[in-house]
């Protein structure tokens, strides 16, 4: 099976799995199974519980990991819900890769990006209620501006929100292409040319975070993960933007201050030059690790 996604920082993550002799690992963002496959192939005594809320991508992971039958079990669930059901101190490692899989951009048909014209959905779990369509067409101008600014640090959040409200007066905004084109009208031609990325990128990120409650969910996931690991166990988190990384950094600091944990990565690990060259998407990845000592 050809994968859409290239997993980042695999060697760095595995070095901690090997260093602390992890034998039971929970992969909370299984995706297509890239990290899990690498870990299992390189540590024969490892067993993994793979969690993902997206049933479609989990089917791809099952196919990708079919040769590891018996060494991995699959849970189709949000990670916080699955972790909440696990016993205290039962696992050697809880691992999070918080990045959105390229599968969602290229193969899900849910409007996560704007390279194709797709329905405005952006749900990671399709059984959830709130969609990007609901946010874009139902939120007030004030609330749109608030989430766009808070979840992406977009300085033109108010103008973008105003343009969205202006556009939807003509009719519903139904597709990713329509939304992207609306967002771009908030920028001058010079600003569009000057920007290193498409100017709609930050707004799409903010709406996706809102739809999936990513930041609120992360806080509860970290609390559960710290409870689930046993003495000597580790929590590893790969984040991709400052909002996520800030939550992880402060939660780890809080845990370490309580005296039961030690922060292993005093500074987050980032991709090597070789990985950056082969996979430019790894440029924003940061890995933090904490270990339970008591």
Q: Above 70 in pLDDT, residue 1?
A: no
Who's near 138: CB < 8 A, 6+ residues apart?
A: none
Q: For the whole prediction, is pTM greater than 0.75?
A: yes
CATH number given to 112-213: 1.10.150.170
Residues 199-224 have pLDDT tens digits of 999 999 999 999 999 999 999 999 99
3-state secondary structure (DSSP) of residue 172: coil
Q: What is the pLDDT of residues 127-174, one digit of tens each?
A: 999 999 999 999 999 999 999 999 999 999 999 999 999 999 999 999
Q: Which pLDDT belongs to residue 180?
A: 97
Supply the pLDDT for residue 34: 95
Tell me, yes or no, if the two domains 10-103+215-292 and 112-213 fold the same way.
no
Structure tokens at 286: 């940061």
Where along the chain do its domains lie?
10-103+215-292, 112-213
Burial label, 202 (beta-carbon count in 10 A; 0-12, 13-18, 19+)? buried
Average pLDDT over residues 72-79: 97
Distance of CA 183 to the CA centre of its chain: 23
Question: 130 vs 30, 101, 138, CA distance in Å?
Answer: 23, 20, 11
pLDDT per residue over 85-118, tens digit each? 999 999 999 999 999 998 999 889 999 999 889 9
pLDDT of res. 2: 60
More confident call, 3 vs 290:
290
* Closest to 281 measured CA to CA, from 97, 79, 109, 40: 97
User: What does the pLDDT look like over 14-48, one tens digit per residue?
Assistant: 999 999 999 999 999 999 999 999 999 999 999 99
Q: Which of 141, 139, 109 is nearest to 122 (CA)?
A: 109
| pLDDT band at 68; cut points 50, 70, 90 | confident
Nearest to 269 by CA among 255, 250, 282: 282
Rg (CA), the chain: 20
**Which option is the CATH number for 10-103+215-292: 3.20.10.10, 3.40.718.10, 3.40.50.12500, 3.40.50.150?**
3.40.50.150
CA dihedral of 147, 154, 272, 246, whole degrees rounded to 10: -50
């Amino acid at each position: 099976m050809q994968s859409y996604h290239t997993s980042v920082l695999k060697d760095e993550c595995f070095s901690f799995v090997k260093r602390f002799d992890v034998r039971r690992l929970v992969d909370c963002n299984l995706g297509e199974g890239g990290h899990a496959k690498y870990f299992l192939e390189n540590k024969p005594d490892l067993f993994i519980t793979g969690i993902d809320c997206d049933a479609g991508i989990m089917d791809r992971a099952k196919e990708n990991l079919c040769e590891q039958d018996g060494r991995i079990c699959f849970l189709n669930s949000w990670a916080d819900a699955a972790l909440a059901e696990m016993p205290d101190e039962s696992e050697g490692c809880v691992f999070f890769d918080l990045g959105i899989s390229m599968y969602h951009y290229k193969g899900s048909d849910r409007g996560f990006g704007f390279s194709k014209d797709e329905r405005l959905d952006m749900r990671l779990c399709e059984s959830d209620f709130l969609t990007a369509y609901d946010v874009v067409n139902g939120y007030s101008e004030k609330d749109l501006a608030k989430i766009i600014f808070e979840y992406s640090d977009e300085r033109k959040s108010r103008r973008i929100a105003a343009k969205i409200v202006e556009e939807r007066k003509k009719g519903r905004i139904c597709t990713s292409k329509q939304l992207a084109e609306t967002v771009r009208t908030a920028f001058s031609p010079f600003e569009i040319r000057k920007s290193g990325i498409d100017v709609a990128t930050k707004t799409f990120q903010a709406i996706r975070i809102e739809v999936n409650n990513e930041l609120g969910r992360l806080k509860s996931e970290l609390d559960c993960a710290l409870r689930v690991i046993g003495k000597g166990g580790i929590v590893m988190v790969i984040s991709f933007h400052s909002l996520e990384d800030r939550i992880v950094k402060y939660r780890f600091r809080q845990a370490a201050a309580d005296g039961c944990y030690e922060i292993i990565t005093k500074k987050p690990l980032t991709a090597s030059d070789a990985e950056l060259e082969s996979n430019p998407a790894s440029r924003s990845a940061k890995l933090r690790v904490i270990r339970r000592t008591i």
